[in-house]
Amino acid sequence: MIIYGNVFYKGRIVECGIEIENGVIVDVGKDKRGKNVDGIIMPAGIDVHVHFRDFKESYKETIESGSLSALYGGVCLVVDQPNTNPPIVDEEIYFRRMEIAEKSTYVDYSLNLGLVEDNVDKIDEILRKIEEKHYVPAIGEVFLKDRMSVSYETLEKAKKTVNKLITVHAEDPNEEDDVKAEVKAVERCLSIGKFHFCHISTAKALDMIYHSESTSEVTPHHLLYSKEVVKLRVNPPLKSNDVRVALVRNFHKADILASDHAPHTLEEKWEGAPGFPGVETIYPMFFYMVKRGYIRINDLVEKFVVNPAKIFGFDRYGEIEVGKYANFAVFDPHSEKPIKARDLHSKAGWTIYEGLMAIFPKEVYMRGEKVLEDGEILIDKGFGKVL
């Protein structure tokens, strides 16, 4: 099978063909002629930070609804987080969740293992049992405050015990100022070792990570909104506009762009539940920003495709290249439209990005198979691979 069109390949858009066998790219070249695809053929997105709820919170999101939302947004691989109800802190709960995913996910699915005070002494044993069957991208996101939190000492113990990426939600439990809390937590963690820092929201913390061996991610909501504009709660909190602007100016220092998709019902949201849905809107919003010249297309691909695959060890995922899975999102740059909650597919049913402009993919391919076309899903749930 060969598809032909305008392809983002090796850092630029070129007219060429992509030859696919058994779901994998086997050749790319201008002499490869096949089925013409209109639009820009981009590598499919990888969202390394989603909360697909399910279990006792299935009323506000499930792996099925969350992965469907991801697919409509041009995302073909997600990393789900373990702070579910019940939390994923042992092999039994991990396997239960993967069984649900195998039956219900539309996109490829992976799952982090949770770290808590009660499992730190056996975390390596739990990990070994799980990895007989599944690939665990990371331990985390590890919380330093609130629910499922661990001490710095426990984090240090886990770092010595486990030869695995650890992702950290960096907010110091003893600091009330939310800017200082992030900076202090990052500083303390960097003194322990190398980590991946989730949803960094301050330029100072981002700069510290940038000049270390650790890696970082940023979210659309921390880049686009200040606490003066959006009063709703999220962890870490939205910052003042001057802090937000500084983060935007340091966007190039972030390794990864991730949604931190965290859906709640509207009733829960008004009562103060932290988090925003966003897995369906992240790629479309940022592709629109590329069109407008706000960010470079190379930066978007690096932070939403290449680095997520590299940092989290997804060998056959990432850029469009020989040996990688044929996972594509096809965008028509002329098909921009405002985001409307009624058009989205998360169970949450609302979005803080209402009215912002976006370009949603017109087609999506997974392992060479067309799975979405003009708003119609062409596969059944369970099509996605469980890693």
- H helices present in the chain, as ranges: 63-72, 91-104, 123-130, 152-161, 178-192, 203-210, 220-224, 241-249, 266-270, 282-292, 297-301, 307-312
State yes or no: is 260 an active-site residue: yes
- Residue 45: what are its φ and ψ, rounded to 5°? -75, 155
- Within 10 A of 199 (CB to CB), how many other CB atoms are there? 23
The b/e string for 50-83 (b: 16+ C-beta within 10 A; e otherwise) is bbbbbbebbebbbbbbbbbbbbbbbbbbbbbbbb
Point out the catalytic residue in the list 260, 299, 315, 343. Answer: 260
Residue 327 · residue 319 · CB < 8 Å: no
Contact call for residues 327 and 43 (beta carbons, < 8 A): yes
Task: Give how far Cα 316 sits from Cα of 141, 145, 303, 309, 381, Å.
Answer: 24, 35, 17, 8, 22
For residue 268, give both structure tokens.
């829960």
Given a contact cutoff of 8 angstroms between Cβ atoms, the answer to whether 82 and 53 are in contact is: no
Which residues are tagged catalytic? 260
